[in-house]
Amino acid sequence: MLLLLPVLAWADSLPLPAGQTQVLPGPYMQLWKDPQGDSDFQTVRALPDSAWQAVGRRDASFGYDSSTYWLRLDVHNPHARALNWVLLIGNPLLDQLDAYGLDGERVYRSGDQRPFDWRWVEHRQLVLPLTVAAGEQRRIWLRMQTNGSANLSASLMTHEAFDHQEQRSLLFQGLFFGALLGMFVYNLSIFCITHDRNYLWYCLFVASFSLYEFIQLGFAFQWLWPNALTWQQLSFPLSSALATLFGIQFTYGVLALREAPAAYRRVAHSLKACAWLVLVMALLGPYQPALIASFVLIVACALAAFVITLLRWRAGYAAARLFALGWFVLISASLASILTGTGVLPYSLLTLHAQQIGGVIEMTVFSIALAARIRQVQEAERMAQAKLITQARQLSSEQAKHLELQTQISENLEQRVKERTAALEETLQQLSSANLRLAELNRRDGLTNLFNRQTLSEELARACARAERSRQSLAVLMLDLDHFKQVNDRYGHLAGDACLRHAAQRIQQRLRSSDLLARFGGEEFVALLDSTDLTGALDLAEQLRDDLARHPCLYQQQSIPLSISIGLHAGIPDAPDCGESWLDLADRALYRAKAAGRNRVASYEASTLDGA
């Protein structure tokens, strides 16, 4: 029984704070893990107390685990009046967070894989408002699922305390990003004056690191792409890999590794290859492997840079001393951030902002090192000028030849730097454009430029889930060109291709911008209509059939008449995963239209079709 006393203490009701007090609710929380993620709230609510486990720590953190976690928290208001509190979830990168019990039957649904405007409070972090009457006790349930760090980072405070903390946080973030902007502009100015690529790499490193932090802190999702959910997820490992890649380029140049032993260059080139691999994984691969790979890459690059910097310092390269200090700070900050995400280190303001603080210190040290490098270059130039003047007094003719040769070398070197920089920028632009084209081509049909069948399956699943959730009607149209084989046999396959493109264009121009048209295969198309009932779907289908019948395809001075049969199904989905069954119902309706003589519209009628 004595061993059970600490557990019972963790499970006690949390007294809501007053004033500027802020508490961490972790020790009062209980959790239940749902590996399959298919349990609903009523099922979880009915679980016995024995199924729940105490969190038993300052914060609910479960590492990089994509399982679904249910948390429950009992709170009570010990004060004489009702107050407004805020449950602040400090991890803005959680994919999904649902909260029950905050405001009657209303369910709070948010996360960076849900549109930003779903949030009750427009804030970069997840802000859950809570009002509890005097003496009232309330139970709150949280459902958390994410492919990233399953770290809740929760804190509970009054609304006034939240406003005060927000003011201090925005001041800190303003100073942080202002410092990064100052370093970017300063080093960009030096690059424009000196044309030293090391300053360009440093500017790109600062810019990509700033974007990484902007995404990690939730600002990007709030202000830049509040509805681009896919981009929001891939942008985090992508910006991390970009910052790492530019950091490698900067270190390679500033430590003069081109002149160092070959082993250093091999390590640098290997890390650059890994950075490119992580970039490709972020763009094309699953999110969690790309995220973990980006963190591993950060630690590996920071450790390698720290070791190489120490070795260069030991070999007599004076500029490496400050860089060693900068890399040491970045390693410490990155490890603290990653260990906090995995749950090894407890959540606190220091660990929450460790990477920001370390990044500012590291970049400040690097800027000082670059400034010292400028002084060294200036001092070397001064000594060279003094030596040249002395030599000029002795041999004026030799000095003239030497200066002429030096001018030619400088001009050639500057030209080569410009050419290589331009070539690299062009290559990066071509690669970026190619990646964008490839991503779009993977979603399109090559002949008609409509969405392909894979894209249709993805969008249909989203549309069904959306319609089921909002209780809005959804319509699926299955369209098939009549006697298309006869068109191919009579006019040729090229004419058949032209007819497919013509039909796709005629259908597309009749649809709304929110509707989706895809080529299902052969001469079949599928149209997906949001917020459309059976009457509207029948009316639109009849318009499509009539329009195509009245506009034949013109190909090589030939007018090829076309007709189309349409089968459709419309209504409110009863399940979020009804996509395949609705396609089957529309296809059965299409079969009915074909059997009735083609060039007509038929809707799915359960009694008629099942009887047939």
Determine the residue type at 520. Answer: F
Of all helices (H) and strands (E), which one includes residue 548?
helix 534-550
Residue 352 pLDDT greater than 80, yes or no: no
Yes or no: domain 453-611 corresponds to CATH 1.10.220.10: no
Q: What is the pLDDT of residues 203-246, one digit of tens each?
A: 898 899 899 889 988 999 999 999 999 999 889 899 988 988 98
Q: Is the pLDDT of residue 611 over 50?
A: no
pLDDT(365) > 80: no
Averaged over 324-348, what is the pLDDT?
61
Each domain of the chain, given as residue ranges in start order, spans 2-164, 196-394, 398-442, 453-611
Binned at pLDDT 50, 70 and 90, residue 440 comes out as low
The yes-or-no verdict on residue 429 having pLDDT over 60 is yes
pLDDT score of 349 more than 70: no
A 10 A CB-CB count for 127 gives: 19
Least confident piece of the model among 342-346, 395-399, 425-429, 568-572 = 342-346
Domain 2-164 shares a fold with domain 453-611:
no
pLDDT tens digits along 550-607: 999 999 889 999 999 999 999 999 888 888 999 999 999 999 999 999 999 999 864 3
Taking residues 282-301, what's their average pLDDT? 85
User: Is the whole model's pTM more than 0.75, yes or no?
Assistant: no
Residue 4 confidence (pLDDT) above 60: no
Residue 606 confidence (pLDDT): 43
d(C-alpha 72, C-alpha 357), whole Å: 33
* Active site members: 523
Quick one: pLDDT at residue 599? 94
* DSSP letters for 304-350: HHHHHHHHHHHTT-TTHHHHHHHHHHHHHHHHHHHHHHHTSSPP-HH
Q: Which of 10-24, 104-118, 347-361, 383-397 has the lowest mean pLDDT?
A: 347-361
**Residue type at position 388:** L
CB 220 within 8 A of CB 235: yes
Nearest partner of 61 among 149, 158, 164, 184, judged by Cα: 149
In this prediction, residues 281-295 reach a mean pLDDT of 87
Confidence at residue 588, expressed as pLDDT on a 0 to 100 scale: 94
Specify the range with the lowest mean pLDDT, choosing from 38-52, 332-346, 368-382: 332-346
Mean pLDDT (whole number) for 527-539: 93
Mean pLDDT along residues 324-337 = 64
Q: Does domain 2-164 have CATH number 3.40.50.300?
A: no
Give the angle 399-403-409 at the CA atoms, nearest 5°: 145
pLDDT at residue 569 in the model: 95
> Read out DSSP for 172-209?
HHHHHHHHHHHHHHHHHHHHHHH--HHHHHHHHHHHHH
User: In sequence order, what DSSP letters do the residues of 552-573 get, joined into one string?
Assistant: PEEETTEEE---EEEEEEEE--
Tell me what percent of the residues of the chain surpass a pLDDT of 70: 86
- 3 state SS for 584-603: HHHHHHHHHHHHCCCCCEEE
CA atoms within 13 A of residue 564's CA, in its CB half-sphere: 31
Asked whether the predicted pLDDT for residue 77 surpasses 80, the reply is yes
Q: What is the dihedral of CA 454, 459, 464, 467, to 10 degrees?
A: -170
